[in-house]
Amino acid sequence: MSKELAKTYDPKGIEDRIYQNWLDKKYFHAEVDRSKKPFTIVMPPPNVTGQLHMGHALDNTMQDILIRYKRMQGYNALWQPGTDHAAIATEVKVIQKLKEQGIDKNDIGREEFLKHAWEWKEEYGGRIVNQLKKLGSSADWDRERFTMDEGCSKAVEEVFVKLYNKGYIYKGSRIINWCPVCKTSISDAEVEHVDQDGFFWHINYPIVGEEGRFVEIATTRPETLLGDTAVAVNPEDERYQDLVGKMLKLPLTDREIPVIADSYVDKEFGTGCVKITPAHDPNDFEVGKRHNLPEINIMNDDATINELGGKYAGMDRYEARKAMVADLDALGLLVKVVPHTHSVGTHDRCKTTVEPMIKPQWFVKMQEMAKPAIEALKKNELNFVPDRFDKIYLHWLENIRDWCISRQLWWGHRIPAYYCDECGEVVVAKEMPKVCPKCGCTHFKQDEDTLDTWFSSALWPFSTLGWPDKTEDFDYFYPTDVLVTGYDIIFFWVIRMVFSAIEQTGKVPFHHVLIHGLVRDSQGRKMSKSLGNGIDPLEIIDQYGADALRLTLITGNAPGNDMRFYMERVEASRNFANKVWNASRFIMMNLEKAEVPGEMPKDQLTAADKWILSKVNTLAKEVTENMDKYELGIAVQKVYDFIWEEFCDWYIEMVKPRLYNDGDTTKSAALWTLKTVLVNALKLLHPYMPFITEEIFCTLQSEEESIMISKWPEFTKEWHFAEDEAAVEMIKEAVRGIRNVRTGMNVPPSKKAKVFVVSESENVRNTFENGKVFFATLGSASEVTVQADRSGIDEDAVSAVLPEAVIYMPFAELVDIDKEIERLQKEEQRLTKELARVNGMLSNERFMSKAPESKVAEERAKLEKYSQMMDQVKERLTHLQAR
């Protein structure tokens, strides 16, 4: 064997080289191959503005594990990558960059701005892709897509036109989330609800024609009073039945508004009277529709009060709030102000409080498209892992509202709607029409708005495979198999992909949705810029290697659950990598010195060889079962435990005497087993730790060119040795018993002692007779005697009890009695001093009265500990001095 591993494991020295080799050899690339079964994962496209964070690292590690596993199982595995144009995020970045150059977006116009946006995308768009490569992501980068590339844009136009012609897309005035800073509508996905300290302002609305009589309402947004068009009460609320139909004088205005009855009002909440502002509240909007109320929008796009606000026109919303509350107070209409903490919607990008506002926008009708998406889950065509997310999915679909898809941005897919300059006719088409179908005019203007980013990413699983064209890729790789994503975007993205895919392709976009939680910091807090507690995955990779980061993210990870990120765990993962590396070097150094048979040397295999073969055989079966159930954390824990404990700590130690004895006829069997088990363990570990496993695998053997395309281990009856496995497990149990006794008596490993094994069972005695060799290596035994009874064993021999045997060790051989007495006497003197000190402190009144309670408790705990230790020392001294 000419190649060898470096002395120390250095991820920096191998990861980039290995990854480049994988790329050069096109191992990640998938082509249609009808002789193989496809397995497809579509990458949730990170924002083109994005930088790798721990959430990305977890999400992509999980996908990579699955795709590597399936590739090794012989599937034609495609991991389809790409990035999202991220409308608002990118536009904000480009605006900032232009501002630094003294350029205003509006001065240069749309076309010029888009040139700058595309330049920005070309310059920074590849950053996150390169970062994903550092993680070891084996996506098919030859197929990389972008939500605004030619193919995806064609799909977007196709869907928009089809849905419009079907009556599913319409333009109308409805309540939307409006960001006054970004000056665009935003989706529910971009609204973060945060608890803010505010107030309930209780205001009296005078009843028209009934001097001195009022209706009291409570509101958290008094400035919206200017847009009130009614006050509602519950029809069953006896307190207000006589008011229904009466008119109220709307304070601070010259308008009158009616009292209406609607079951939306909760009798028990507040005063039981609710102001209705249809243009500024989604619930009020629905009430307004039921009662044909006018909709009065009292705000400009920058959240200042518009011309309908009278004396408050031009004021910022919060400035107007202050002025109006002061005026209400002066008029004697402000009843009281009660502090109130409530959840407020803010824009996740700029943190501005979102204003619910009526605006003419483009919407998708959701009622009909939601139905097949619900059915898909109920028929098990779609499965969530874990299935508790079924409820969230169904709840959202069953209560779905029409989806606002237009955005007041320039970066994105422009809405393919054209308005006739002459008659205003709207024509929705893939291209600008030549002639108006209504008046024959030839001049059109395209809608200024762009589409919500989610509209294009909803088509991602099929638009990336060539749809709407009838491509081989789409026919072969679609539907995809599994989507891996965080629980925070089930509604916004997963659901939209499902209903869009069923509507456009007649099939679900994926069969399984594997949900993971958030990566939190070591204190359990969400990682965020404001807390400054984010950890950069690239820094971890630079310091510890990608494999250590990947193992840390998956160890203990259960589907759907959040995880905490500890640096100590990264170090533990790196230590594991070192353990694998050093064990592999040890095995290779021994393989160099001897001939290893190509076939299994059945007649030379010992019980230990059969035991470890049987263990790795069962491991392959269990890991496969876990991975098929998406239990990635459980699977890797089993591989970790097997390599560290069974293989390194037990088997390698067991075979050392055979390796060092050239006359041992089973030496070649030991070497064959070491190499075979290592190769299989590396394969099972590969999806999790791809770099270190590849480096060792390619250095260890020359039969296969890469572990990536090697065959996944499968359970085989030929390697199932139940009896040998049971026998070695019994010997291991005995060795553990010996070690526990020695540790309890502080016996150094260098001190050898006789070991007697007593058992009435002939089978058990035979097992130990055959396993004698292990006691010297693993249990520091000078000699081993196996017998049926206790005859000839010292009375004071110490013992370890097993289910079918007892292990004895002569006491005098474990301990030098004179030295042990001397040691215990010194310990007795030390403890006498400590007890005197502690008792002195606890009986000192000054200390007891002035010391903090925690210090007193600490000293009491010491007293208890030292007293117990003293009892044990005295008991042991008495026993030894009596000998």
Q: pLDDT tens across 548-591, in order? A: 999 999 998 888 899 899 999 999 999 999 999 999 999 999 99
Higher pLDDT, 178 or 531: 178
User: In the predicted model, is pLDDT for residue 681 greater than 70?
Assistant: yes
Q: Which long-range contacts (CB under 8 A, 24 or more apart) does 253-258 make?
A: 253/226, 253/310, 256/208, 257/205, 257/228, 257/229, 257/230, 257/231, 258/230, 258/231
Q: Are 459 and 155 in contact (CB under 8 A)?
A: yes
Walk me through the domains of the chain, giving residue ranges and CATH numbers: 16-142+458-516 (3.40.50.620), 191-356 (3.90.740.10), 546-720 (1.10.730.10), 725-815 (3.30.2320), 818-881 (1.10.287)
* CB 678, CB 587: distance < 8 Å: yes
Predicted TM-score (pTM) of the model is 0.85
Please check the confidence at residue 708 and state whether its pLDDT lies above 90. yes
Which residues touch 309 (CB under 8 Å, ≥6 apart)? 226, 298, 315, 320
* Residue owning tokens 């059945």: 602
Q: Which of 215, 204, 210 is nearest to 239 (CA)?
A: 215
CA 662, 663, 665, 666 torsion: positive or negative? negative
Q: What one-character-per-residue DSSP string does 545-593 give? A: -HHHHHHHHHTT--TT--EE--HHHHHHHHHHHHHHHHHHHHHHHHHHT
What's the distance, CA 461 to chain centroid?
20
Backbone angles phi, psi at 507, to 5 degrees: -135, 155
**pLDDT value, residue 67:** 98
Residues 6+ apart with CB under 8 A from 142: 26, 28, 29
Do 186 and 123 form a contact (C-beta atoms < 8 A)? Answer: no
Cis peptide before 597 (omega within 30 of 0): no
Dihedral angle, C-alpha 646, 651, 653, 656, nearest 10 °: -160
**Which pLDDT band, with edges at 50, 70 and 90, does 2 fall under?**
very low
CA neighbor of 340 nearest in space, from 191, 194, 192, 201 = 201
Give the end-to-end CA distance of the chain in Å, rounded to a whole number.
59
pLDDT score for 873: 83
Average pLDDT over residues 784-804: 84
**How confident is residue 780, by pLDDT bands cut at 50, 70 and 90?**
confident
Residue 326 neighbours by CB under 8 Å, 6+ apart: none
CA distance 423 to 528: 51
Mean pLDDT of 151-172: 97
Structure tokens at 315: 């004021």
Around 426, how many Cα atoms within 13 Å sit in the side-chain half-sphere?
Answer: 12
- Tell me what pLDDT residue 1 has: 41
pLDDT bin (cut points 50, 70, 90) of residue 312 is very high
The three-state secondary structure class of 335 is strand
Yes or no: say if 207 and 243 are a contact pair by the CB < 8 Å rule. Answer: yes
pLDDT at 482: 98
Which of 231, 249, 227 has the alpha carbon at shortest distance from 333?
249
Nearest Cα to Cα of residue 544 among 566, 514, 516, 520: 566
Using the predicted structure, report yes or no on whether residue 198 has a pLDDT greater than 60.
yes
Return the minimum-mean-pLDDT range out of 198-212, 631-645, 787-801. 787-801
pLDDT at residue 267 in the model: 87
Residue 498's pLDDT band, with cuts at 50, 70 and 90, is very high
pLDDT of residue 883: 67
Query: Which of 22-36, 260-274, 733-747 has the least mean pLDDT?
Result: 733-747
Is residue 119's pLDDT more than 90?
yes
For residues 145 and 79, is the Cβ–Cβ distance under 8 A?
Answer: no
205 or 822, higher pLDDT: 205
C-alpha to C-alpha distances, 620 to 647, 673, 686, nearest whole angstrom: 14, 16, 13
* CA dist., res. 808 & res. 787, Å (int): 11
Reduce the secondary structure of 257-321 to three states and give it as a string.
EEEEECCCCCCCCCCCEEEECCCCCHHHHHHHHHCCCCCCCCECCCCEECHHHHHHCCCEHHHHH
* Helix, coil or strand: residue 219: strand
| Whether the predicted pLDDT of 676 surpasses 80 | yes
Q: Are 841 and 847 in contact (CB under 8 A)?
A: yes
pLDDT of 824 reads 81
> At 742, which amino acid appears?
R
Mean pLDDT score of the chain: 92
pLDDT digits (tens, 9 = 90+) for 833-848: 999 999 999 999 999 9
Q: Is the pLDDT of residue 259 over 70?
A: yes
Condensed to tens digits (0 to 9), the pLDDT of residues 420-477 reads 999 989 999 999 999 999 898 999 999 999 999 999 999 999 999 999 999 999 999 9
Give backbone dihedrals phi and psi of 674, rounded to 5 degrees, phi first.
-55, -50
The residue type at 561:
N
529 is in an annotated binding site: yes
What gap in Å lies between CA 654 and CA 609, rounded to an integer? 9
Rounded Cα distance between 287 and 281, Å, is 10
The half-sphere exposure of 514 on its side-chain side, counting CA atoms within 13 A, is: 26
Cis (ω within 30 of 0) for the bond into 386? yes
pLDDT above 60 for 486: yes
Burial of 65 (0-12, 13-18, 19+ CB in 10 A): buried
